[in-house]
Structure formats: structure tokens, C-alpha cells
Amino acid sequence: MNNIKYFFKTKHFFILLCVLVTLLIRLPFLVPNIDFNNDAPTYSENMKKPFFGGNYDVQPPGYVSFIYLGRFLHIFIENPVIIQHIINMFLVALISFAFFELLMLFGFLFYEASLFTIIFSLNDVLLLGSITGGNRLFLTLCTILTIYLSIKIIIHDKKNLILLFGLIIAFFMGFRQDISFMFIPLYIFLFFVIKDFKLIILSLLIFGVVCVTWFIPLVLEYGGFYSYIMVIKNQKAVYDSSLIFSGVSLSPILNISRVFVYMFNSLLFVLPFFIYSIYKKQFYIPKNILIILIFCFIPAFLFQLFVHNGNFVHLAAILTQLFIFLIFNFRINSKPKIIYSIIIMFFLLFQFFGVKMFQNPNFTQKIVNVLWLQYTYDGVKSGETLRLRQLENEFKEKTE
């Protein structure tokens, strides 16, 4: 009996609690049809194809590790939608565990870390991204791990972890190649911090070897290196909504404003913690930690803002830094605050789904479809304001 009571006070219990809560919250909302996610149906079709088949039509840069993981699971599981859900649920569990450990590194107590981990998992970007297919959660997990390792390297003087840092960056680049734009600057910055030539060279070798292991299959799937480059040059995925690539100014500018709206919405219910810290004059972040957060934030934010602002996927790579910044100095040291925090957590959940989900079985599907429109928005051009309308027009043309 005493052992059971002791277990409920251990870190393992609180980690298990976080993982179970974040998973159980999502299970009722996993939808069998994810066709309203622009990319998920393409992922599903390619997961059913054989390895190294060369018949690859995933939008560049390719996400080859994600597709190959799906193909491996397809050996045992026939339905590719279920495969995507399984991958995302596994990522949710890893994100909860990693984020809890990150908060512990910042000095949060067990119950504080568990509460903030659950709240973090309920922001709209992660919540919707985890129940509607796709691979955006790799961005979040990679962000958490790079922040954790950077703190260990810089503050705890664990220079050898630069080897693991290079491995992790290269590994996650196989799942999402855009990670190279987001975390390579931090990787280079760490070289100047550790100032160890041997470790830097060895880390780069590990980075290069891991990159080659996924890059070779990637170019083979597209028919060779030259074919892959031509596909990238000819693909127009971000042209209409990008401030850099688009010839139209209105669409990208509107999308940029929406980036800030959705970013604010995702962090709305942790703003009181930040305001409270400011009010109590308790807000302070050590310089080294602030530098790490900035290096993780700026590249991903600029990429989301100016290059790929049409669907807000890359918010998954910047919410971790903002969340940590807002709650860094807030500590729960009295029971009333715990109660208020729990109320905020449940209110956060019900802002999306409400009590109707218990009354109407189809409500979940409808609300997810409606909410997903904010991420499939491709801007305003030639009177078309939603990607959904474009897809409907294409479908009508094919059926006529």
C-alpha cells in the first residue's frame, strides 16, 4: 500500500498521467475520413505503394521517412488512415513526455509540469494536427528535443551532446525536410559555444551519414537526383500564398495577418500566467535560455511568415518557444491556483468541441471540418478564398 502511495508522488506517475490524458482526450475525435486535409490523402496513397517503387507523387520536399514509416506499418495494418493516426498518437505521447522533461529542466514541480504539459497539448495546432492526419507533429517534437539538448550543452556544459544534436536534426529532416531551415542556425551557433573541433567534425559526420540514409531513397523515388531537382523547381505549392514567391500581394498579406491571429488563439489561455508574472514583477528568463528560444523561434517564424504562410503548419515549430516564454516564471504554490488552472485547462478543451459532442455523434466530424478550414486557406486570388472551393470545382470538372 505504501508503495502505491509513493508511486503517485513520483515523476513516473506524472509522466504517465500526462501521456494518458493527452491521448484519451484525442481518441474520441479521430476521424475515419481525413480527405479534407489537403496532404493526408496523398500520404495515404503513397503509403500503400512498394518501397523504392519510383511511383512517388508526394508534394516536395517529399517527407520520405514519414512515407516509409507508413509503408512499414502498412505491412501489418491495411488502412493508411489508421496508420497516420497511430503515428500521430505515438508522437503525442513522445511530445508529452519530452515537454514534461523540458519543464522539469526549468525547475517546475511535478504537478506544475504535468498541468502545463496537458495545457500545451491542447492548443489548436497540436490538437487538430494530431487527429486529422499529416506529419506536423514532427516539427513540435524536434523543437522540444533541440531546446532540451541546447540547454544541456550550453548551461550544463554537456558538450558531447552535440553528437546527439546532429543525429536528431538529421533524423527529423527525413520526416520533414523544412526542419533544415529551422534548426540549422541553432546547430551552427552551438559549434561556437562548444569550441571543440573534434566534436564538431564528428557531429557533422553523424549528421551527414544520417541525411544520406534518407536522401538516397528520396531521390530514387523521384527517379534520380536531376528529376528530384526538376520536380522541386516546378512545384507551385507555396507560390500563391507566399510573400516571397507570389506575384499577388493581397493573398500573402492576409495570410500573414492570419498567422498572428492563430498564434494568439493557440496561446490565449496561457496569457493569464504571463500577465500574472508581469504583475507580480516575477518575470525573468536567463540570458542563455532566452538565446536558445530565440534561435529556435526566428528561423521557423520567418519561414512561416514569408515563405509558407498559406496553411500555418509551421506554427507547430514555434509554439513551444512561445509557450515556455509565457509560463517560464509562473509557479503554482497554492491550491486556489491549481483549481483555477484546471478550470482553464478544461475551458480550453471545450472552446473547440463544446458539450454538443456528447449529444450528436456527427458533431465531431463537422467541427473538425470547420476548424480545419483555417489551415487549408490558400489566400484570396481571383475570387477564390478557400482551398476547399478549389477542390470542389476540380471535382465537378472531373465528374462532368
- pLDDT > 50? residue 175: yes
**Domain boundaries along the sequence of the chain:** 2-399
- For the stretch 89-137, pLDDT in tens is 999 999 999 999 999 999 888 888 988 898 888 887 788 778 777 788 9
CB contact at 8 A, 270 and 326: yes
At 301-339, the pLDDT tens digits run: 888 777 765 566 778 888 899 899 888 887 776 555 555
What is this structure's pTM? 0.82
> How would residue 284 be classed by pLDDT, with cut points 50, 70 and 90?
confident
- pLDDT in the model for residue 62: 79
Q: Say whether pLDDT at 246 is over 70.
A: no
Residue pair 40/133 in contact (Cβ under 8 Å)? The answer is yes
pLDDT digits (tens, 9 = 90+) for 11-49: 888 899 899 988 888 887 777 777 666 677 888 888 888
Mean pLDDT of 188-215: 94
Q: Tell me, what's the pLDDT at 371?
A: 46
- Is residue 343 packed enough to be buried (19+ CB in 10 Å), middle (13-18) or exposed (0-12)? exposed
Instruction: Kindly state the percentage of the chain with pLDDT values over 90.
Output: 26
pLDDT at 260 over 70: yes
Q: What is the reported pLDDT for 200?
A: 95
When pLDDT is averaged across residues 369-373 and rounded to a whole number, the result is 44
Q: CA–CA separation, 44 vs 294, rounded Å? A: 36
The predicted pLDDT at position 89 comes to: 92
Return the pLDDT at 385: 38
Per-residue model confidence (pLDDT) at position 348: 56
Cβ count within 10 A of residue 201: 10
- Cα distances (Å, whole numbers) of residue 308 to 264, 281, 292: 18, 37, 23
CA-based nearest residue to 252, from 306, 316, 311: 306
Is residue 140 within 8 Å of 316, Cβ to Cβ? yes
pLDDT averaged over the chain?
77
